[in-house]
Amino acid sequence: MTHPARVGVGVAAGVLTAAGGLAFLLAAAVAGAASALVAPARRRIGALIPRYATTLVRLERRRLGELLGASELPPVRTAGWRDVAYLAARLLPGALGALAFGLLGIGAVLAWILVSATVRGDLSLAEILLQVVIGAVLLLLNVQAIASVGALDVRIARRLLDRDARAALEDRVRELASTRAGVIAAVDAERRRIERDLHDGLQQRLVALGMLLGRARRSRDAERTYALVTQAHEDLQRAVEELREVAWRVYPSALEESDLGEVLGMVAQRSTVPVRIRCDLPVRPDRQIETVLYFVACEALTNAAKHAAATLVTIDIGVREGTVRMRVRDDGAGGADPSGPGLSGLARRVAALDGRLRVESPAGGPTTVLTELPCG
């Protein structure tokens, strides 16, 4: 059961958020009326209103969960007009809460007047007792009214924001179908990239290696033969290194024996950009989670080195509220495109594990790639 004082704070905060919701609804109505005659503007306003309403509803969910005990409300996933309807419905408990606190303020003023009159001796004992009893009854009714406003607030939220089990299941099925298709597309894109790397890189190097060995076999000059074999040996080492890099893009085999922090340390040693790693994982996460985090970190490092001209990359990995969080930040020029093939493919992989990948890369930098995955 939620403490009455916490409920009072929640209702008071609800009065303020209801005022903000009223201002938003009025602004949305004005913007909608102004754009009614222009089709492109109407579509844009029609898309922006639910989005901003969802942002306000996120604040409401936090207030309801932390102060009014409605922590079971499902998280916001997509913007919708249901959130706009909720903001409109919230005006009623907001107004009732304002009325209740207004009456409480008036009661406080009257109590002060009563105390002042008692000190001056203007009231008899019977009058004082009568006023105290009336004030206590009114205070009790006012507190009960505030609690009722809080209950009404929660009831409206559950009615408009809490979906039934069937709707939640349908959303989950659609989400799984979308992430499954995204993972298939990401795997297919990765397969094409590996084929391209093998064809354009390793295959050409092996062809050149064969030609070198052929020239060495036909050579009659011992020194020239030695030089050709030496060059072939160096090319073979580079080919093995390229093959190892391709294999690591398929699956980092080092995760079989080492944890994520150690493997990323190996990656940092090969990086052309200085890397600072802080890995604070009390318990080693699932192999799938480690693999996805590894690929995200490698992609972010590659982008920082090739495109951002970064001088330092920091990788912070930790656990917070049952979620593994990894933040990769570089001090480069920014401008990373989240819709690019690399980051978008990784976003689909993260989504397949019920996680989230967010990229913040304003022009001029810095670039931050935040990955959140459930611990399982």
Prior bond of 93 cis (ω within 30°): no
328, 260 contact by CB (below 8 A): no
**Could you tell me the sign of the dihedral formed by the alpha carbons of 44, 45, 46, 52, in that order?**
positive
Residue 154 has pLDDT above 60, yes or no: yes
Give domain 256-374's CATH number out of 3.90.1150.10, 3.40.50.300, 3.40.50.2300, 3.30.565.10. 3.30.565.10
Please report which helix (H) or strand (E) contains residue 203, including its range. helix 203-218
Give 232-250 pLDDT, tens digit per residue: 788 777 777 777 666 555 5
Q: Where are the domains of the chain?
A: 4-161, 173-250, 256-374
CA dist 105 and 307 (Å) reads 61
Question: What pLDDT does 365 receive?
Answer: 78
Give 3-state DSSP helix, strand, coil % of the chain, rounded to 5.
Answer: 70, 10, 20
Beta-carbon contacts of residue 200 (< 8 Å; ≥ 6 apart): none
Among 102, 179, 212, smallest CA distance to 357 is for: 179
Q: Which two tokens stand for residue 326?
A: 């990894």
Residue 327 has pLDDT above 90, yes or no: yes
Q: Which two tokens stand for residue 122?
A: 């203007």
Q: Which of 70-79, 90-99, 243-252 has the highest mean pLDDT?
A: 90-99
**Could you tell me the sign of the dihedral formed by the alpha carbons of 165, 167, 173, 179, in that order?**
negative
Among 285, 291, 296, 288, smallest CA distance to 323 is for: 285
Model-wide pTM > 0.85: no
